[in-house]
Amino acid sequence: MKFRDPDHAGNHPGQAAPVKMPLPAAAEGVHGGGHRRPGPRPLHIGLGRLATGLLLLSACLLLLTGCVKLALRASPSLIDSLTKSIFAECDPQLAAAAIPSDLKLLEGLLREDSSNRTLLQALCRGFSGYALLFVEPDDPERASGLYLRARNYGLRALGATERLVGPGAGDRHGVEEWLQALPQDRVEPLFWTVLAWSAWLRNNLDKPSALAQIGTLERCLDHVIKNKPGLLYGAPLIVKGVLLAARPRMLGGNLKQARTCFEEALRLSGRRFLLAQYYFARYYAVASQEKDLFYSLAKEITSRSPEEPADVCLINTVIRRWAPGLRERADEWFYQE
């Protein structure tokens, strides 16, 4: 599979090869015309079969009406760990093959418990990350639909669909009132919702319906930055920087403020979260026509190890594979001197 920057076309990840499961060893029986009692089975075989039996029993129980909901409510950390483990995966091919089936599994579980906030938040994170890393580079239109799907899951988790995107969503006072009442433990889910929302908007700046949502989106993003600017190594500030750099001044763009946001994000992450360098180069440096800064950031991406921080190894690894695409398009993005 080829990974290219979001401005290049490429191949979609293929499906993982089927896994062949080993067959159980033949049981001891009649040999040489006589009967023999089988000897004791090794302990690891007995425990393995016990574990398999328990898993099958659990699966059967989950098929009973109401058991799925009960199981999900009893172990929310398992769902949270599923999405976190994906972002910690350093092999992009493995992640690209695994994420779609994981997301469909979560959607299937959601059908049994449609108001489960943990599932809704996991789906928001999962679809956002998958669209950003594996879909947008090749198919921005499809990615736009996935970002919208992620945003809608996030809004459902927050119980804010009507408030933020419904008919009365343009009411600034109502949005600010809702944000002031938002508990601190909802700020991170709000961030993931805003991440998906802003990515959808970035791909639809030519649509009046998208532009009409900028005000509400920015109020939500500013609330996240005010309360938890260091989430995901300064990602709220990266999102803010992109929004400010990607828009012309007449639509609220501001390059000076965008640079401040990117530099603060780099400071918060210790320059270890490569998404900051990539978007700093792609949006700010191109919009401000700072060619030296552009090349410096692109070089920095390729010179850093993607394995630290470990919990964003997937993002860093994919960003490193996009970096050559930045340099390849420099002549197109910068005016010739």
Residue 68 or residue 174, greater confidence: 174
Average pLDDT of span 186-190: 96
Q: For residues 21 and 104, is the Cβ–Cβ distance under 8 A?
A: no
How many CA atoms, within 13 angstroms, populate the side-chain half-sphere of residue 204? 21
pLDDT tens per residue, range 138-167: 999 999 999 999 999 999 999 998 889 877
- DSSP code for 283: I
Q: Give the residue-averaged pLDDT of 186-209.
A: 94
Rounded CA gap, 86 and 129, in Å?
9
Beta strands at 30-31 and 34-35: parallel, antiparallel or unpaired: antiparallel
For the chain, domain boundaries: 62-333
Categorize the per-residue pLDDT at 53 as very low, low, confident or very high, splitting at 50, 70 and 90.
very low
Q: What is the pLDDT of residue 50?
A: 46
Burial of 208 by CB count in 10 Å (0-12 exposed, 13-18 middle, 19+ buried)?
A: exposed
pLDDT at site 116 = 92
Q: Give the per-residue pLDDT at 13.
A: 45
- Confidence category of residue 7, pLDDT binned at 50, 70, 90: low
How large a percentage of the chain has pLDDT more than 70? 76
pLDDT of residue 83: 76
CA dihedral 283, 84, 72, 112 (to 10 degrees): 40
- Mean of pLDDT values over 72-78: 60
Residue 326 · residue 282 · CB < 8 Å = yes
- Please give the model's pTM, rounded to 2 decimal places: 0.78
Q: CA of 35: how far to CAs of 32, 38, 177, in Å?
A: 8, 9, 81
In tens, the pLDDT along 214-223 reads: 999 999 999 9
Q: Give the model's pLDDT for residue 82.
A: 76
Q: CB neighbours of 138 closer than 8 A, spacing ≥ 6?
A: 4, 8, 9, 10, 11, 12
User: Which of 70-74, 90-94, 240-244, 247-251 is predicted least confidently?
Assistant: 70-74
Q: Please determine, for residue 124, whether its predicted confidence score (pLDDT) is greater than 90.
A: yes
For residue 44, name the pLDDT band (cuts at 50, 70, 90).
very low
Domain made up of 62-333: CATH architecture: Alpha Horseshoe (1.25)
pLDDT, tens only, 228-283: 999 999 999 999 999 999 998 988 899 999 999 999 999 999 999 999 999 999 99
**Number of residues written out for the chain:** 337
Nearest to 246 by CA among 289, 212, 284: 284
Both structure tokens of 137 = 């580079």
> Mean pLDDT, to the nearest integer, of 298-309?
94
Instruction: Quote the CA–CA distance of 132 and 148 in Å, as a whole number.
Output: 12
Would you say residue 12 has pLDDT above 90?
no
What's the rounded Cα separation, in Å, for the pair 147 and 153? Answer: 10
Contact 247, 269 (CB under 8 A): no
56 pLDDT above the threshold of 80: no
Supply the pLDDT for residue 336: 73
Question: Cβ of 73: how many Cβ atoms within 10 Å?
Answer: 11
From the CB of residue 215, how many other CB atoms can be counted at a distance below 10 Å?
14
What residues are paired with 31 via a beta bridge?
A: 34
Distance CA 81, CA 269 (A): 22
Helix (H) or strand (E) holding 34: strand 34-35
